[in-house]
Structure 1
Amino acid sequence: MKIEKLYYFLSVAKHRNFTKAAQECHIAQPAISKQMLSLEKELGFLLFERKNRRVELTEAGKEFYQSISCLIDEYEASVRRVQQLPEEASHLCVELVL
C-alpha cells in the first residue's frame, strides 16, 4: 500500500466529496475514486457509504480514519526529525505494515 493512497483517503474523509478531495490532492476525480475502491478492496471492508455526490464514512471508515490520522502525523513528525539530523545520518527508510 502506498502512502499516497492514505493521504487520498484522509482527504476524501475530510471533504466527504471525491471531487473536492481530488482537487486538493491534484489528481483527477476518477483516479481518486479508483484509489478508494482499490483501498477498500485491499482492506476487505467498506470505508465509505456513497450517497449521490457526497460520501459518508462507515463505522469501519471512522475507525480507520482515526488510526490513519495518527499514523500519518507520526510519519510526518519522523520525517521532520530526520531532516534536522546532520546530512550523513539523514537516510530514512519507513515501512508501514497495515
Structure 2
Amino acid sequence: MHIKRARTIKPAQIRHLLRVTEATSWHPERNALILLLGLICGMRISEIGTAWRYSNVGLIFVARLIERAADMPLEAAIKQRVSTPLGISTLRFATERSELCGE
C-alpha cells in the first residue's frame, strides 16, 4: 500500500469518517494517535470520498469528537441523546474483547 501526502489538503469531514471514506487505513500494529495525526496532516491512500476502506481511525476520531462536544463519555452521550429519546433500552457498548459476540 502506498501512502502519499496530498498536494492540497482536502479536509476530511465527519461524513467521510462515518462512511469510512476518509482515505486512511487501519493498521493494528500502528498507534491510533499516529494514524489520527496522518489523517489531520493529510497523509492519504486515496482522495477523500473516492474510495472505501475499512478503518477504525475515523470512527475513533468521531467518538472523541462526540465525547468532547457532549462533555461526557461516549456511552453516556449516546444513551442520553440517542437511545433514551428513541425508547431503546437494550443498547450496550462492548469495551472489552471478551464482550464481543463469538469471543
Q: TM-score, normalised by structure 2?
A: 0.25
| Higher helix fraction (1 or 2) | 1
Structure having the higher strand fraction is 1
Q: TM-score, normalised by structure 1?
A: 0.26
Higher RCO structure (Cα 8 Å, ≥6 apart): 2
